[in-house]
Amino acid sequence: MTEHKGTPLTFEDRYDQAVAELEKAMKGYLTPRESAIPETLRKAMYYSLQAGGKRLRPVMCLLACEACGGEDIVAMPAAAALEMVHTYSLIHDDLPAMDDDDLRRGQPTNHKVFGDAMAILAGDALLTFAFHLLALHVQYDNVVRQLVVELANASGAAGMISGQAQDILSEGVDGDLDTVNSIHTHKTAMMFQAATRMGAISARADQAKVDMLGDYGIKLGLAFQIVDDLLDVTSSAEAMGKKTQKDQQAGKLTYPAVVGIEQARQHANDLIEQAVAAIKPIGQAAKSLIELAQKVNQRNK
């Protein structure tokens, strides 16, 4: 675990430290480009990027790098790229043609503030900038290539976009657990897997550690999505900062819908245990990632 003046940080302090470093880095990456960005587009990009949130994927990236002996600074371009891609996906998911949400993180969604067209462009800009910053700010060419492949695979047509497409195509259709697992894997878990693999790659870890951390990431991502589905059923809009009960209203395939609340909770617990077991060989260096997995299963928003 990272130390401060000789004293080990608590998990919460380490998490806050990583988020603060990320916020500073993202602003630094974007600032030199601001003069070339139309003012309204810049505002739309910043509106969603700075709207808060858990910053879970970039923190996972930084903690995975740390578990492999790397410093935060070497994984920061990867962490920022992950958050930009995630933010773009939220902007587009909230659009009327997709999930049609009015609130995100307790604030009006991007298209409610800037209009549909500018929201689409803000998402497009964040997506392309993510790859731009990897190319500019990662030191080693072979690492750049690996990071680009990981991020493109997880977020593209065979990854997150595939999951979103399956999600839309499955609305109102009777489905089974295999279908739900496929949607969850592609829509959510592959980006978690990319986060931990990109952290390990940034630290120039060996392939065994990259794969180990990737296994942790995909298991944690599946658990995260199940917990998210459960919160949509059991939590309130006030607690979540967005509309709840919308999955059932839209006829979406989710774990609670297919197997029920109790079995969904049990499967999330099982996946957390599997994620922790995957990185056990790393030892004490993976302590923060183990604590993170436990926090994911305890979240209430």
- Contact between residue 183 and residue 167 where contact means Cβ atoms under 8 Å apart: yes
pTM metric for this prediction: 0.93
Predicted confidence at residue 237, as pLDDT, reads: 57
| Tens-binned pLDDT, residue by residue, of the chain (301 aa) | 444 445 688 999 999 999 999 999 999 999 998 989 999 999 999 999 999 889 999 999 999 999 999 999 999 999 999 999 999 999 999 999 999 999 998 899 999 999 999 999 999 999 999 999 999 999 999 999 999 999 999 999 999 999 999 999 998 888 889 999 999 999 999 999 999 999 999 999 999 999 999 999 999 999 999 999 999 888 655 554 555 556 666 678 899 989 999 999 999 999 999 999 999 999 999 999 999 999 998 887 6
Predicted confidence at residue 120, as pLDDT, reads: 98
According to CATH, the topology of domain 7-294 is: Farnesyl Diphosphate Synthase (1.10.600)
Predicted confidence at residue 1, as pLDDT, reads: 43
Q: Report the C-alpha gap between 37 and 219 in whole angstroms.
A: 38
SS3 (DSSP) at 104: strand
Q: Report the C-alpha gap between 276 and 278 in whole angstroms.
A: 5
Q: Report the C-alpha gap between 273 and 220 in whole angstroms.
A: 9
* Alpha-carbon torsion (182, 188, 191, 192), positive or negative: negative
Counting Cα atoms < 13 Å in the Cβ hemisphere of 247 gives 20
Predicted confidence at residue 75, as pLDDT, reads: 98
Q: How far is CA 94 from the centre of its chain?
A: 16
Predicted confidence at residue 249, as pLDDT, reads: 65
Residue 97 CB neighbours (<10 A): 10
